[in-house]
Amino acid sequence: MNTKSIYKTPAGERAVQALYDSLLARWPVPCEMGTVATRHGHTFVISSGELSAPALVLLHGAATNSAMWRGDIVEYSRRYRVYAIDLPGEPGKSAPNRLAWDSPAYAEWLDDVFDALELDKAIVVGISQGGWTAIKFAAYRPERVEKLVLLAPGGIVPARVSFIVIAIPLSLLGRWGARRLIRWLYGRQPIPVGVEEITTPIISHFKARLGVLPLFSDEELRRLVMPLFLLGGAQDAISDLEAVAARMRKLAPHMVVKILPNAGHVLLNTTGPILSFLAAGELVAI
């Protein structure tokens, strides 16, 4: 594992953490915040909802943290005991360890988190790299995943070369570059107020992880036997969601798919279709 600093400067780390603290202080539902121990380092968890409710785990994407779920947590917490978990090596409050992608490390890490939270099994919702992590875990320990929701997941088809080539230079061009990158990630969706103020400090101060997520084998994807929902955007700058759906349909034919025509890689207002799927086991009209 790589434990070098994941920030460009100590001052940049303080700026990102201060921003995260300010967002956590305004968490929109009652919650508990704390860390649990895993073999791959300490892990920060935000827990909300009734203890007796079914468990739902949220896994954010790369170069972000669990603050990204603030707009969804009210709806999820009404029905579930929700655990928003900071991935290691990202700009949250978990250990800065960057686990090897080509190993079982991410699955081992989440297995340890489940143990620490005393979860026999849970619904798992993951976006982008969080979706990749969710697949890694579900293929490793399918008996612990009650239902699986994948939002624009990585690791199914190769990432678009255009994004890899352009995103890194944009990240070096300050606020202007951040604004262009945000627009690209949101597709044709309106960008919510405040996104630039939250995203720009991370782009400016955080060392984004280089490289691409490994593709899952057919054998791994066939292990996803639990109820499965794929949600993505037709304007996704990173992945071709039609190609993702086509490959997944061959290997997990029970999967439910919804592709939003104007959405990009960042998905907005997804609690409706997700809660519909979780409640019915299929996507109902929305």
Higher pLDDT residue, 198 or 222?
Answer: 222
Per-residue pLDDT, 124:
98
How many angstroms separate the CA atoms of 139 and 136, rounded?
A: 5
Per-residue pLDDT, 285:
39
CATH of residue 23: 3.40.50.1820
The number of folded domains in the chain is: 1
- Residue 212's pLDDT band, with cuts at 50, 70 and 90, is confident
Per-residue pLDDT, 286:
35
Does 285 reside within a domain?
A: no
Sheet holding 145-151, edge to edge: 31-36, 43-48, 81-85, 55-59, 122-127, 145-151, 228-233, 256-260
Does 135 reside within a domain?
A: yes
Per-residue pLDDT, 162:
61
Per-residue pLDDT, 183:
64
**Token pair for residue 250?**
């061959």
User: Residue 82: which domain range?
Assistant: 10-278
What secondary structure, in 3-state letters, does 167-236 show?
A: HHHHHCCHHHHHHHHHHHHHECCCCCCCHHHHHHHHHHHECCCCCCCCCCCHHHHHCCCCCEEEEEECCC
> At residue 55, does pLDDT exceed 70?
yes
Does 1 reside within a domain?
A: no
Per-residue pLDDT, 177:
58
**Token pair for residue 127?**
């976006």
The two beta strands, 81-85 and 43-48, are antiparallel
Does 122 reside within a domain?
A: yes
> At residue 248, does pLDDT exceed 90?
yes
Q: Lowest mean pLDDT: which of 68-72, 73-77, 185-189, 282-286?
A: 282-286
Does 3 reside within a domain?
A: no
Q: What is the mean pLDDT of residues 112-141?
A: 97
pTM of the predicted protein model: 0.91
**Token pair for residue 179?**
């604004």
